[in-house]
Amino acid sequence: MESFPVLVLSSVAVIIISQLLKVLLNLIWRPYAITKWYREQGIEGPEYKFMKGSMEEIRNLKSSAQKVPMDINSHDFTPRVLPHYLKWMPLYGITFFFWFGSMPRICITDMELVKQVLSNKSGFYPKSDAGPEMLALLGKGLVLIDGPDWARHRRVVNPAFTIDKLKMMMRKMTGCAKSMIEGWENQIAQEKSKQAEIELHKHFLELTADIISHTAFGSSYIKGKEVFLSQKELLTLAFSALFNVQIPGFGYLPTPNNRKRRRLDKKVRTTLMQIIHVRMKSRDGEYGNDLLGLMLETCLAAGKENDNNKMTMDEIIDECKTFFFAGHETTSHLLTWTMFLLSTNEDWQDKLREEVLRECGIEVPTADMLSKLKLVNMVLLEALRIYGPVTIISRKASQDMELGTIKLLKGTTIAIPIPILHRDKEIWGPDADKFNPLRFENGLSKAAKHPNALLAFSIGPRACIGQNFAMLEAKVVIAMILQRFSFSISPNYVHEPIDIITLQPKSGLQVIMRPIQA
Ligand code: HEM
């Protein structure tokens, strides 16, 4: 009979060898087989590089493309933000594959295929896997989950975003915008000047954080500040990890970044728990009908029917993370890019001010007044088209399946590069690179050759739940600024759009603001 140590050693050896074989299979043989599979269908792409895939090339292309700022009148930031797509599309065709580490990604830019993927209701194209950094940032909330959990969360959350609820949020939105604007007026008065240079992006990030805190959580920017500041750091971590080689299990090691991520995650959770406890104590069994109230109602309604809509406290915390982040970052960028466009196209600024003063006068706008601001709406849609905050939508093939003529292998990620589709002259016409809000004159569905061509909020069942909220918020803020200020771009502004997960100006947006004398 074999001795015990020999048995242990041989078992360990078997485990190590089988793990090594698995690694070799995933890192060498599988990419080779996948490449062969797609090439046989005529789909080409850059060669797979051991473990790194295409990551190193993407990082290098991006860093050299981002060395030179853009001309202020040019809106085509794709060479800076998506240089790899621009390099590979002419080489391999509009549908091509590349490598996120050892995982294949297929880029699709055919609108019909995009529609098939995004409109699918049978769960064939779930969200692609999120790394530990994105999970810490957004939690397992609506943006990242799938299947029955997603459907249950969406059922709970939907009623917080009905048109009636949005109208009721108007007072809070205008209140937050008024404080920001009065801050600017005071600054200019204190400087005893007729104008001041204001960095708007920073202000919009705080404003939109304040608005989502008030409207969804009955809190304020100040109370939720720890969440926002920690999420900002988590965002930087997620961004820096985006094009790194992913080593399985690496996220559990006590590296400085992993430790930082865990510390920030804990801080976010503690602050959210404080906000939740305040709400639970302050009401007598009624938790309110805002987002937090609706979620708590389902969680704490022990013994009541409709368990299908129940959420656990951990799920609520994850959903809070999602809404704190998704509910303010993107909208602040939309406001920033809209103000950039209006500061550099003063003829449009004047037209919009005329419309705002005609429909709202100098009153605080109401929802009814805002519904009449057609030109403001057109400019916001055009800002979403050319500077949409979300640059890539990705999904995963849940099984081997066909998408058009492509035979997809299970696990392949499908990447939809929105800025490239939003500049497609076949879809948007010969002026696709230009700022032309008039293309939306006859409504969203008639602005392009394809009725669903604007993908800024995505389309289909996973489209943005907050799109009406974001549009209302953006209209309120832009209208209130136009009532009180005229503005032009500062000579200090440098046009460097950059995608730190979402598209934003690298060093803020400096604008010269001049109060309009009443
Ligand atoms: C200009 C502002 C906004 C833009 C451009 C935007 C864009 C998007 C996009 C493109 C998606 C789909 C992502 C994907 O399929 O991978 C999405 C989903 C989502 N957005 Fe927004 N968003 C904005 C504002 C908001 C706001 C204000 C909220 C919350 C109040 C919000 C909450 C969400 C949530 C929860 C999802 C996931 C929906 C689901 O999968 O069921 N977003 N957003």
- Each domain of the chain, given as residue ranges in start order, spans 147-390+463-518
Amino acid letter for position 206 = E
Spans of the chain, pLDDT less than 50: none
Question: Counting atoms of ligand 1 from 1, which one is nearest the CA of 333?
Answer: 1
CA of 196 to the centre of ligand 1 (A): 34
pLDDT, residue 2, reads 61
Question: Counting atoms of ligand 1 from 1, which one is nearest the CA of 471?
Answer: 1
CA of 470 to the centre of ligand 1 (A): 9
Phi-psi region of 510 (alpha: psi -120 to 50; beta: other; left: phi over 0): beta
Task: Compute, in degrees rounded to 10, the torsion defined by CA atoms 78, 107, 105, 138.
Answer: 60
Contact partners, residue 77, CB within 8 Å, separation at least 6 = 70, 387, 419, 497, 503
CA of 109 to the centre of ligand 1 (A): 21
SS3 396: strand
- Alpha-carbon torsion 257, 262, 101, 405, what sign? negative
Atom 23 of ligand 1 has which residue's CA nearest to it? 330
Spatial contact of 66 and 77, defined as CB atoms under 8 Å apart: no
Is 464 annotated as ligand-binding? Answer: yes
- Alpha-carbon torsion 275, 278, 282, 287, what sign? positive
Spatial contact of 390 and 330, defined as CB atoms under 8 Å apart: yes
The CA-atom distances, in angstroms, between 313 and each of 130, 230, 320 are 22, 21, 10
CA of 366 to the centre of ligand 1 (A): 24
CA of 138 to the centre of ligand 1 (A): 12
User: 413-417 and 103-107 as β-strands: parallel, antiparallel, unpaired?
Assistant: parallel
ipTM of the complex: 0.99
pLDDT, residue 470, reads 97
Q: Which residue from 482, 494, 517 is spatially nearest to 201, judged by alpha carbons?
A: 494
SS3 105: strand
Is it true that domain 147-390+463-518 has CATH number 3.40.109.10?
A: no
The rounded distance, in Å, linking the Cα atoms of 237 and 428 is 36
The rounded distance, in Å, linking the Cα atoms of 407 and 241 is 30
The rounded distance, in Å, linking the Cα atoms of 503 and 501 is 7
> What DSSP state is assigned to residue 428?
H
Ligand 1: list residues with CB < 6 Å: 142-143, 154, 212, 322-323, 326-327, 330-331, 334, 388-390, 393, 456-458, 462, 464-466, 469-470
The CA-atom distances, in angstroms, between 108 and each of 105, 111, 421, 445, 481 are 10, 8, 10, 21, 39
Question: Counting atoms of ligand 1 from 1, which one is nearest the CA of 212?
Answer: 30
Task: Compute, in degrees rounded to 10, the torsion defined by CA atoms 435, 439, 441, 447.
Answer: -140
